[in-house]
Structures are given as structure tokens and as C-alpha cells.
Amino acid sequence: MVTSRIVKTKSIELECKNCGWREQYETPIKHCPVCYEDILYARYDIDYLKRRGWADEIKRRKPGLWRYHELLPIKEPDNIISMGEGGTAMYRARNLGAMLGLKNLYIKDERQGPTGSFKDRQASVAISVMYEMGIQEAVVASTGNVAIAYSAYAARAGIKMWAFFPDMVPGDKVREVALYGTEVVNVTGTYDQTKTIAARFAENQGIYYDRGIKSIAAMESMKTMAYEIAEDLDWQSPDWFIQGVSGGMGPLGMAKGFEELMELGLVDKIPAIGLVQSEGCKPMIDAFNNGLPVAVPIENPDTIIATLSTGNPGRAYQLLYEIMSEWGGAAAAASDEEAFEMTKVMARTDGISVEPATAVAFAGLVRMVRNGDIKPNDVVVFNCSGHTFPVEKRILGEKWAKELDISDASSDPVLPTDTLVEAVEKVKSPISKVLVIEDNENAARLMQRLLSVNYDVSIAHDGQVGLEMAYNLKPDLIVTDLMMPQMDGFSVIERLKSDKAFRDVPIIVLTAKELTAHERARLSGQVDTLLQKGSFLSEELLQRIVDALN
Ligand SMILES: *Cc1c(COP(=O)(O)O)cnc(C)c1O
Ligand SMILES: [Zn+2]
């Protein structure tokens, strides 16, 4: 039984970008009745909102996705199913930015949604639409996060959910879905096959099937990220929006959001889009980098990053290609291993713990910076799309915790302090002393933070002081910059290396500039490692230090 909950009406039209068909939006439809285009666009009376001063009005509302309700496909606000989604924080990633040489790197922290990913936006809008339409049972195919978010919201709306999963989805995610009372169906097959089977099941059973990216709710929900980003940048569009993509709904929705903000006269462009996929499933990356408007589907994705395993992006890629051709963009792939490595880098450098689908996107961002697509002064917004609960086992490897056995002492009601001190001492390895000579304060602070976890770090802000500290502290290793006032790094290195006491102390050079042949010759034989500042990764630096100390 279907009982519609629409009371008032608000004017929303559906538009087909392909043939221009346009009609009043009443209920979700499968495709354009004229040309069968299956991704349709919702259109609102934006002119009216502009005249009304909508941009000032929303400032007075509570943060969150529904403060933009006039531009969302719900007719009656009472039907909104919400858990405070959207309105996520956007903040500067100072350390990761410094590491990459990016001055304006922002994290749009979508991990802060109620179930830990940006699918909470989609779930809130999609489930609200279902509720408003009086739908009582629904089927969804998912690689994890959509099903988790939908299940949570469906529980609140009293809608029964069926979730179909390909077998590569991690068990922890499937269990969370079951926790919400959703019926779980595991399919031995790919994500694309799972979608086909779920759609057929829904059709046979006469149950509503959520068409994901092909539903109005999906794109409409994602566009709210654009509104928030632009408002946080004082009504400016960033130069780049970077995301790990599967179906491509995030960037498509984001682009529609900026398009609407342009119509409202609030911003002047759609950001360039940086698409990232995993090496084992990168149909969009291959197509874009070969200048193709249509992607060749991948039949058997070979990646453990289930979240990004759409092998056939279909129309979504074509639409993205059109947008990126007009407004700019780049595409890059990275391996699963790089994603795991990057998970650690993000967590250790800026305190951000993400799931592999997000980490692979960061690895792609690193590529785009290194190959010059993204410039040092560009304003870059990185969609930090999902959290990493639970921590993927492969990221940490073996031996990530230190064992502390105090069973001998535990019979005492009060643990004798010396036993405790002794036990704790055992856990700490002998600490090496590292002297960092660096005149740039931000860079010095970043290195202090990175290294002080494992080393006893001292900082000198110029060459002369560095030299004095070296004699006083007798460090086990020296990390130095080259370009410094008073005494430069070259002289510091030459002075130290001419002294027997320092001949065996390893030196790592971090330099901001390309070295001339003459400068390289001056350093040769004197230093252990030369790293280009602004492009080293924290893990790379740490590894070089470990190597140099052994
Ligand atoms: C769904 C998802 C993606 C990919 O989203 P699309 O924009 O639909 O391609 C990326 N990261 C996370 C964490 C996701 O849940
Ligand atoms: Zn059409």
C-alpha cells in the first residue's frame, strides 16, 4: 500500500539534458520518456530565490543539509528524515599541504556524517523522498557505505530495507547493516552484477528499487557539498575538487551545486574536478586520460577497495567528461598499496583517519601535484569521503603495538613504581638524537611533530646556531635545509664533515630548490640523502631517517 504524504506543493521540474524534455516532478521516474536518458536533473525556481535574498536567509538557519530545503526534492518539510547530516567541517590541512607544497589545501570532512561517510547526505534525501512518497519497503545494492547510511535512516523512517552486496565488501560493513535490521543478501559476483540482480529482485517482488546515482535524490543531496564549500570560502569556488570515484555521483552533484550557485550570482565557476580511482578498477581514469567521452567498462575489478568498484560508470562518466572538458579536470589512479601507505600518512601527518577509498584519492592528489596539474597556489578541496572504522588490517601490518607484561607484579594491590618504570622503559626503544637545522618556522614545526614521536628532536633556526648545537648535543643524525641566512647549509655541512667527530654522523638535506650541477658536486660524498622539500611525504622522510641511523 502506498500513501503519499505530500500536502503542500513546491515547483520542481525534471529536465533531460540530452533532449531538452522538461516536466513537473511528481514521483521518481526511471528515465526520460522521450529519449530514455536515465540521469535527469531537478530544476527549481532559482530566479525567485535570488530575488528573495536566499543567500542571506540561509545564513540565519542552523547548519546542515536541510537548510537548503528549497533546493531539495522534498515538498513537505515534515517528511524530512534527518540526523543532522551535512554541515560538515571544512578546514585547512596545514601539514599535508606543507608536505605537498600546497598553500591552500582544504579537507571537506565528510567523515563527520552520522554513519561516517558522505553517503549520509544521500541517505537523508533518498529516505525522505521514499517517506514522502509513502514507500514502505526498498531494495538497494551497495559496496557498503550506501547500505549503512540507508539502513540507519530507513530505521528512523520505519521503512524496511533490503541490501544486496557483492562478496568483496568487508564483513564489518555488512554486519553493521544487519545491525539496523536490514535484510542482507550477499551475492557472489561483482558490484555491477549485484546491481542487476537487486533490480530484478525488486521488480519481481514489486518493491521500490533505489537507483543510486540515477535517482534525483542522489545528485540533489551531493550538491549540498558545493553550497557548503562555497559558503565556507566566502562565496568563492575553489580551483579544484578532488575525490575518489566509483559511480561519480559526488563530483556530478558537486558540479550541479556550483552551477546553481552561479545562477544565484554567488560564484563564478565550477571547480576543476580531480577524479581518482584504484589501479585495479579505473575505467574513468583511462577514458579521461585518453580523451574519450565514453568509458570502457571493466568486467572484473581487481582491487580490494570495494567502495570504488563500479566497473561500468555509464552515463555518469559522459556527463562528467562534458563538465571537465568545459571547466577543467584531471584524472589519476593509484594502487591499493599506495592507498594503505597514504592512510598512515594522512593519520600521522594531520590526524585524519580515512577509509582506503579516501586514501587512494589522496594518493591521486599527490600525483596531480607532482605532475603539475595542480599548482602550489591553487585552492584545493579534498573530499574526505569516509572514515576508517574498523582499521583495515593491511594498513598497519604486524607488530603495531608494544607488549607490556606486568603479570608478575599484578598480585600487589599497588604496583611498585620501579616495576612500572622498568616495564615502561622496556617498551621505549633507546632514543636517537636528531638535530634539525631549518629557518622556515612552519617546516621546522612540521618536522618536529613528525619526528618527535620516535626521536629526541632539537631545532636550530639558522646555520650558525645549528653548528653550535651540533657541537653541544652530539646528535646521531642531522637534517638540514640549504638556503638559510647567516651561514647556509653548504657551509654547515662542510664545517661538520671536516671534523673527525662528525665524519660518521649521517646528514639528510631537505631543499626547496633544484640544485645546480656545481651545488650537487659540493654535496656529493658529504650527505646521505637529498629530499626535495614540499614534495616529500612524511613516511619517506621517516624511512630515510631509519635507514640513515642503521
Ligand atoms: C561512495 C563513496 C565514494 C565514491 O562516490 P561516488 O561519487 O559515487 O563515485 C568514495 N568514497 C567513499 C567513502 C564512498 O562511500
Ligand atoms: Zn530526453
Residue 436 is assigned to a structural domain of this protein: yes
Residue 413 is assigned to a structural domain of this protein: yes
Cα 358 to ligand 1 centroid, rounded to whole Å: 8
Beta-carbon contacts of 324 under 8 Å, excluding residues fewer than 6 positions away, are 272, 273, 275, 288
Peptide bond into 297 cis (omega under 30): no
Cell, residue 215? 535517482
Q: How far apart are CA 324 and CA 507, in angstroms?
A: 45
Q: Which atom of ligand 1 approaches the CA of 354 most closely? A: 13
Q: How far apart are CA 336 and CA 302, in angstroms?
A: 10
- Nearest bound ligand to CA 17? 2
The residue whose CB lies within 8 Å of the most ligand 1 atoms, and thus the one to mutate among 88, 145, 173, 382, is: 145
Residue 303 is assigned to a structural domain of this protein: no
Note the pLDDT of residue 170: 87
C-alpha distances (whole Å) from 547 to each of 394, 424, 465, 541 are 23, 26, 26, 10
DSSP per position, 414-431? S--HHHHHHHHHHHSPPP
Average pLDDT across each block of 10 residues of the chain; the chain has 550 residues. List them in order.
Answer: 56 93 89 93 94 93 95 94 98 93 96 96 97 95 95 96 92 90 90 91 93 91 98 97 97 98 97 98 98 96 92 95 98 95 92 96 96 96 88 63 62 56 58 89 81 85 93 92 88 92 90 82 83 71 79
- Dihedral angle sign, alpha carbons of residues 393, 250, 279, 531: negative
Place of cell 546542515: 64
Residue 281 is assigned to a structural domain of this protein: no
Three-state SS letters, 337-356: HHHHHHHHHHHHHHCCCECH
CB atoms within 10 A of CB 424: 12
- Nearest bound ligand to CA 21? 2
Cα 425 to ligand 1 centroid, rounded to whole Å: 44
- Nearest bound ligand to CA 29? 2
Residue ranges of E strands in 35-114: 41-43, 90-92, 104-109
515: domain CATH number is 3.40.50.2300
Closest CA to 495 of 463, 520, 518, 460: 463
C-alpha distances (whole Å) from 40 to each of 132, 245, 252, 324 are 20, 20, 12, 19
CB atoms within 10 A of CB 303: 23
Q: Is the CB of 249 under 6 A from ligand 1?
A: yes
Note the pLDDT of residue 1: 46
Q: Specify the residue with its C-alpha closest to ligand 1, atom 13.
A: 386
Residue 468 is assigned to a structural domain of this protein: yes
Cα 382 to ligand 1 centroid, rounded to whole Å: 13
Domain that holds residue 414: 408-548
- Nearest bound ligand to CA 33? 2
Q: Is the CB of 244 under 6 A from ligand 1?
A: yes
Closest CA to 105 of 352, 450, 376: 376
Q: Is the CB of 309 under 6 A from ligand 1?
A: no
Note the pLDDT of residue 8: 47
Cell, residue 432? 636517537
Residue 538 is assigned to a structural domain of this protein: yes
Cα 108 to ligand 2 centroid, rounded to whole Å: 34
Q: Is the CB of 248 under 6 A from ligand 1?
A: yes
Note the pLDDT of residue 517: 87
Cell, residue 199? 533490480
Neighbours of ion ligand 2 (CB under 5 A): 16, 18-19, 21, 32, 34-35, 37
The residue whose CB lies within 8 Å of the most ligand 1 atoms, and thus the one to mutate among 246, 277, 281, 352, is: 246
Q: How far apart are CA 439 and CA 482, in angstroms?
A: 10
Q: How many Å is the maximal CA-CA distance in the chain?
A: 89
Residue 146 is assigned to a structural domain of this protein: no
Q: Which atom of ligand 1 approaches the CA of 212 most closely? A: 8
Q: Specify the residue with its C-alpha closest to ligand 1, atom 7.
A: 250
Cα 145 to ligand 1 centroid, rounded to whole Å: 8
Note the pLDDT of residue 449: 79
Residue 438 is assigned to a structural domain of this protein: yes
* CB 467, CB 496: distance < 8 Å: yes
Q: Are strands 379-384 and 240-244 parallel, antiparallel or unpaired?
A: parallel
For the chain, report the end-to-end CA distance as a whole number of angstroms: 72
Note the pLDDT of residue 526: 82
Number of domains within the chain: 1
Backbone angles phi, psi at 466, to 5 degrees: -55, -45
